[in-house]
Structure formats: C-alpha cells, structure tokens
Amino acid sequence: MRLHVITPALNEADNLRSLLPLLLNELPSGSRLTIADGGSTDDTVEVLRKFPMVNHLRCDQCGRAQQMNEAAKQGQDNFDAVYFIHADTRPPTGFYQDIKQGIEEGYPVGCYRFKFDRWHPLLWINAYCTRFNGLACRGGDQSLYLAMNTFRELDGFRDMRIMEDYDIIERIWERKIPFRIIPRSVTVSARKYRANGWYRVQMANLKVFRMYKAGAPEEEMISLYREMLKPS
C-alpha cells in the first residue's frame, strides 16, 4: 500500500522535530510524507532541511482544510490512501500496518482513539469517549485515514476555516461508508487545556459545535473561539 501521510502545520517546528522520525520510520518505499506549511515563520524550514526525504509544500492558502487538500491533490494517482495527522499528535508504533489492515478488511476510512500527553481525570473522560462509535466522538485530533478513491468521492475537505474535520466525518457517516475506530491510541497534546483550563475549552467547543449545527456564519464561529481561548 502506497500511503501519503500529510501534516498541516503553521509554526510547529518543535513538534515536527519529534514527529517526523516517528512517521518516517514506518513508511515503506512508494509512500510519501508531506508537511503542508501554511506560511510558518519559525524554524520549520531549518527543521525540514534535516529531513530531505520529507516533502515540504508551501501552500498557497493558510487554513488547515486548504493545506490538507492542496497536499492530498499532489500526485494523488500515485497513492492508495492518505493519512492526516496533526503536528502535535504522536502515532502509535505500527500505524502503517493498522491503516493497511483497516483498508484490506473493508474499512476505507478510519481513525484512532486518543489519549493525552498528560494525565488528568477530566482529560481521561474526554479520551475515553473516543472509544465509542458515535459521530459526536470523532474529531481531527484522532488523525484520519481514507482510501484515496474515497477521498476523491468526498471531494476532500470543504473550504472551511473551522470544523472541517467534523464536516468530512459527518459526510462519511451520511454516506454510510464503513468507518473503523482502530482500537489503539494516538497521543495528543493537552496544550490547549493547559493554557485555558478544561472547562473553558469544553464550553468553547460546545458553543462552536452548536453554532455549526445551527448554520452560523464561519466568521462568527471563529470569532467566538478566539475570544474564548488563548493561543496555545
């Protein structure tokens, strides 16, 4: 299986230093790792110079959905599947085989459960919910793989600046495409919770989710999210 791993990034040099070796160690010949860069001004370029086998794509637009789409559409006929993983997420050992197995068993789309990089009882509850097969339990932090023909069928991510991960999973659910929750966990950063506190993050997520379901303008959702949460 030829896998295209894509990480959207904006000023994530420190995270890329530790993430890239974990990804490269498992990718076989014929696969590719792309950093879809939204215009980083930190040390991202210097970090990537140390990994010449990584494709550094300087995207035309900054925005996670736009960056992921631009990367996925590059040479898409050369790959069997695409795997999207955030810069502050760490995959488990064996992720390539997990994805290959899922597709071979008839699941063209799937994700992992997640756990946080620090323990707290409230964060444990969040992580525990990712075990369940419910749409409300899904999100981009869990990473997402798609068979390339399924990604094409969905026409990729919609041109959204927020909620793009939930939107594509919602469309997968609506089409009843078989979806596998891999019974292992990626490790995700708790930096947003450290900067803002669990309750404030939960309230921001809930309010934005309700606005999304009510059809609120994208700019209003982004404005509320930025107003409620400090950058992390």
**Mean per-residue pLDDT for 173-198?**
95
Q: For residue 61, what pLDDT band results from cuts at 50, 70 and 90?
A: confident
pLDDT of residue 139: 75
Q: Is residue 231 pLDDT above 90, yes or no?
A: no
d(CA 210, CA 205): 9
Q: Among residues 174, 189, 204, which one ends one of the domains?
A: 189
Domain of 171 in residue numbering reads as 3-189
Residues 118 and 181 in one domain: yes
d(CA 20, CA 132): 29
Report the mean per-residue pLDDT for the chain: 94
d(CA 90, CA 162): 22
- Domain tally for the chain? 2
Strands (E), 28-105: 32-37, 55-58, 81-84, 89-90
**Mean per-residue pLDDT for 102-123?**
96
Q: Among residues 154, 173, 189, which one ends one of the domains?
A: 189
Residues 148 and 99 in one domain: yes
Residues 178 and 201 in one domain: no
Q: What is the pTM of this model?
A: 0.95
Residues 134 and 43 in one domain: yes
Residues 221 and 185 in one domain: no
Q: For residue 52, what pLDDT band results from cuts at 50, 70 and 90?
A: very high
Percentage of residues in the chain with pLDDT exceeding 90? 90
Q: Using alpha carbons, select from 27, 32, 37, 25 the residue that is nearest to residue 15.
A: 37
pLDDT of residue 134: 76
**Mean per-residue pLDDT for 191-203?**
95
Residues 24 and 65 in one domain: yes
Residues 140 and 228 in one domain: no
Residues 219 and 107 in one domain: no
**Mean per-residue pLDDT for 220-226?**
96
Q: Is residue 170 pLDDT above 70, yes or no?
A: yes
Percentage of residues in the chain with pLDDT exceeding 70? 99
Q: Using alpha carbons, select from 171, 144, 168, 30 the residue that is nearest to residue 89.
A: 144
CATH number of the domain to which 35 belongs: 3.90.550.10
Residues 84 and 102 in one domain: yes
- In which order are the strands placed within the sheet that holds 89-90? 55-58, 32-37, 3-9, 81-84, 144-147, 109-116, 179-188, 89-90
Residues 209 and 181 in one domain: no
Residue-level length of the chain: 232
Q: For residue 136, what pLDDT band results from cuts at 50, 70 and 90?
A: low
pLDDT of residue 141: 85
| Two tokens, residue 163 | 């909620």
Residues 204 and 178 in one domain: no
